[in-house]
Amino acid sequence: MSNGGRYFYGDAGLIEILLPKLELMETAAGGYAAVYKDPLTNSFWLKYYATTATPGGGYLTLMRLPAPSTTKLIDIAISTVFEDEAVAAVLRLLDEESVEKKDFRLQLVEQLEASVEAQGISAERAYQIVKFANLTDTTNIREVIGKTAAQVQEDATYFAGIAKRAERLIKRLS
């Protein structure tokens, strides 16, 4: 399988075409996740369902291993020419935020602002990323148990600031 430098496939139809070309190495989560090996490149791929995509469902994804870093995921979302790969990268960011508590929002909004300024991203892609990543939501999604009121307020201010920047970016793109 020639992946053309891709890290993700998010098109379920394309994934179903690609899987028979790969060797199944192991399955987990009752078959909802599986590791495959590409015999042509010796690269490993994880097939899984992005859990943030749909409550009770999921977004079928094929991700090259090792999993990309947060910085790389943001770069993929912004710069890939493949829309399904951009969506899959954003969903991975959301999954890592939800499950592993990895923060990405400030870095993503900063990269989007820089890319828009440099005209390195289409307005449509920037808008889609803001919407898919829910950057305009002011909700504090960090844990509040065990924190002081000041710490909770600091977190709330952080999310409100990102949402404000994302709103400004959307207005600029309009």
CA–CA gap between residue 81 and residue 133 (Å, rounded): 18
Phi first, then psi: what are they for 24, rounded to 5°? -70, 125
Question: What pTM did the predictor assign?
Answer: 0.91
pLDDT at 57: 67
**139-172 pLDDT tens trace:** 888 888 999 999 999 999 999 999 999 999 999 9
pLDDT at 1: 62
Percent of the chain with pLDDT over 90: 83
Residue whose tokens read 């390195």: 120
